[in-house]
Amino acid sequence: MALTDTYTMNNGLKIPVIGFGTWQANDDEAKLSVLWALEAGYRHIDTAAGYKNEEEVGEALKESGVPREEVFVTTKLDNKSHGYEKTKSAIKDSLEKLDCDYIDLLLIHWPNPIASRDNWKEDNAASWKAMEEAVEEGKIKSLGVSNFHARHLDPLMETAKIKPAVNQILLNPSEMQPEVVEYNKKHDIISEAYSPLGTGKIFDVNELKVLADKYNKTIAQLVLKWSLQHGFLPLPKTVTKERVWENADVFDFEIKDEDMAVIDNLKGRAGSAVDPDTIKF
């Protein structure tokens, strides 16, 4: 496996096995980190309307010199853009900000934001219809969701013509969300891992320090490899140049089964996922 290797989504299209995340990367920071990522060999960039950095990501894509068709670009629907007309407008806005003719993957960022709390099922279905139309028009290649549980996916799939290809969730050794991962697997939905390195606390977990030393890798490299060996698609984020390269250097070793089991048993040691039905945004 290598940085440019891909998983095949349920629509037959390919998605690189590691993506570069841009959450909390603002303005020049976002642009520079994406340029470094593309230079390091990443070919999968993850942004969102809510990150307020789509323009900077688009500028980096243009300035990198990497052909657009070689980069897989993901963005996400803002929480205030749920509903048919709002979603159509949001897609147009994201395409303009990214300065792209198409987006590879569009996700509904959260299933039940405050703005849609009273009608979240209907709003998700209406947004999905607009997203499906964008696929038919060639503006979007693939569709997915983020932070969805079974209770959100089941009603969405009752009316969806296009099945979600990806569910991006918080996923790391401290929070494995087994019920969501199992649902994704059952429905041939790829589990993308945001915050794959958890919080800063994960770097203080002694078991990870010991295993990182054993494999002569950093804790970040160890945890990203753990994610890949589980079949997840991690989205590491950093604005430090050296770590961009470090996080990409995870393909020259394999974690043994007994050590995978150790990492699997670190639940709650470095933060956990929030309930998507009680978020305050």
Answer whether 80's CB lies under 8 Å from 86's CB. yes
Between 269 and 73, name the one with better pLDDT. 73
Is residue 199 pLDDT above 80, yes or no? no
For the purposes of burial, counting CB atoms within 10 Å of the CB of 247, is it exposed (0-12), middle (13-18) or buried (19 or more)?
buried
Locate 135 and state its tokens: 């696929």
pLDDT for 201 equals 86
pTM above 0.75, yes or no: yes
- The verdict on whether 51 is a catalytic residue reads yes
Domains of the chain and CATH, by start = 6-199+231-254 (3.20.20.100)
Q: Which of 42, 51, 183, 194 is catalytic?
A: 51
Query: Which residues lie closer than 8 Å to 34 by C-beta, 6 or more apart?
Result: 20, 22, 45, 56, 57, 60, 61, 64
pLDDT for 270 equals 83
Give 13's pLDDT tier (boundaries 50, 70, 90): very high
Q: CA–CA separation, 260 vs 132, rounded Å?
A: 39
pLDDT for 271 equals 82
